[in-house]
Structure 1
């Protein structure tokens, strides 16, 4: 298996997919002719040379000598990439699945990689890839420690192991995204309505005034208690919020979901009080 000191000191890396993430990771250079890549888009293969990456004439050529493979395809292609390309890599090579997919998808990809004689590692990229190799990574799987050491030699200095089970790193990433991407969507919906109503400055100032300097554990406990105690009343208010948005010509996608969750979260005592 490619876990010798020589391999760790100078691993050969192959990238499957050379879009935004691949180019960002390759841009700092320093891989000294030890990097190859493959992408189904010909223009991306052509672009690899300017980053010091040798484009294979086909996937098999790109993967043949790699000690570590970075899978950087689109989310809907992650499992197929593992199924299609893992049989092309040498026995014992590390397949680092850096795609943003569910734990279940990672497990399916892992089965394909291990069946082909490779070693699968679940890697979650925890910040925008514009940070390049300075991006924080979470790693999980039976070979997480070997992967962390090898990624460090490639310049990924901010990798942290979170467990030895495939799927744990991606669970953290996916569940965190509920908040991160959800807040983005809520912000978009709120701002669209505020602009339509001509009250952007007032709404933003009111939000600033009500912001609490809490850590997320405290904030989560508070928000859940509010929903359990006052969910029905808040659901009724959010129904009027959704009506307001429709009157403004803004589709209340997030607000209507909030109505549903507020109502479901209400505890039985709150339901009885509402009925009374």
Structure 2
């Protein structure tokens, strides 16, 4: 049986998109974790018995795995793609990683699309900003729009361009979270957290720094392992540009440490 869409990976992003879109039997899904099959059924996604079964006859694929599995997924599953299928790699990895994945997909007869997801999928859901790049980006944008995605922009025909924007942006976004963790650890140890936060409020009027600090620390405790993997890819991106990723490597450490604290609490 054919379908409109295959989802490879059904974690937070896959389940969020499926529930928001109401694809109802139009999508098949595959995840290496059997426990996620029930979540697929709840979201109206057909749970396939294998990646090959999920991909069979699907003209459009969303790869939504973890950063360290983005390349292996493309390499392992490309042979199961129907000719001309669009493989939309939505994972947060370095441009070189996406170019390697593109070679695997294209060698098998598929068409690779570099997709960068620029914000948390919750609460944005189908309004989350997507940047697309690659020779088939325009066609993928139309296909994703037909599925309900509402905030899509094509940034070029070169695979890796969307990823470069995402990875370099992440140096700041995830770096600020890591700096917050380090700052708060020192401030709490010194017993001056209230004063430090108040001084930041006085110098920057956006949201109170107490709220920002709490938010950043919660995101790190909840998603630190995934973010650490993403930041390792950001470090690769900077290295490829001749920039030493000194703070970025520190961010990897802080994100991973925060995730460990979150699990133990």
- Measured against the shorter chain, the TM-score band is 0.7 to 0.9
Alignment of 1:99 onto 2:98: no
Alignment of 1:192 onto 2:212: no
Structure 2 unmatched runs, 5+: 207-245, 251-265
For residues 148 and 189 of structure 1, the distance between their equivalents in structure 2, rounded to whole angstroms, comes to 40
In structure 2, the residue corresponding to 1:27 is in which secondary structure?
helix
Q: Look up the match of 1:85.
A: 77
In structure 1, the residue corresponding to 2:132 is in which secondary structure?
strand
In structure 1, the residue corresponding to 2:20 is in which secondary structure?
coil
* Offset of residue 29 of structure 1: 3.8
For residues 191 and 171 of structure 2, the distance between their equivalents in structure 1, rounded to whole angstroms, comes to 29
Preserved contact between residue 118 and residue 131 of structure 2 (Cα < 8 Å): yes
Alignment of 1:135 onto 2:116: no
TM (norm. structure 2) is 0.75
Question: Following superposition of structure 1 onto structure 2, how do residues 242-257 of structure 1 map, counting pairs within 5 Å?
Answer: none
For residues 132 and 81 of structure 1, the distance between their equivalents in structure 2, rounded to whole angstroms, comes to 24
For residues 190 and 29 of structure 1, the distance between their equivalents in structure 2, rounded to whole angstroms, comes to 40
For residues 38 and 142 of structure 2, the distance between their equivalents in structure 1, rounded to whole angstroms, comes to 30
For residues 149 and 103 of structure 2, the distance between their equivalents in structure 1, rounded to whole angstroms, comes to 26
Preserved contact between residue 24 and residue 43 of structure 2 (Cα < 8 Å): no
Q: Deviations over 1:180-238 (max 9, x none)?
A: 0001111111111111111112111111222389xxxxxxxxxxxxxxxxxxxxxxxxx
For residues 205 and 28 of structure 1, the distance between their equivalents in structure 2, rounded to whole angstroms, comes to 39
For residues 180 and 50 of structure 2, the distance between their equivalents in structure 1, rounded to whole angstroms, comes to 44
Question: Following superposition of structure 1 onto structure 2, how do residues 179-258 of structure 1 map, counting pairs within 5 Å?
Answer: 179-211=172-204
Q: Look up the match of 1:40.
A: 32
- Residue 174 of structure 1: which of 150, 163, 167 is its match? 167
How many residue pairs were aligned? 208
Structure 1 unmatched runs, 5+: 1-10, 214-252, 258-276
In structure 2, the residue corresponding to 1:123 is in which secondary structure?
strand
For residues 85 and 46 of structure 1, the distance between their equivalents in structure 2, rounded to whole angstroms, comes to 22
> Which consecutive segments of 4 or more residues in structure 1 shift more than 4 A?
none
TM (norm. structure 1) is 0.72
Q: Deviations over 1:18-76 (max 9, x none)?
A: 11111111112432321001111111123211100001111111110211000011111
For residues 43 and 147 of structure 1, the distance between their equivalents in structure 2, rounded to whole angstroms, comes to 30
Q: Look up the match of 2:141.
A: 148
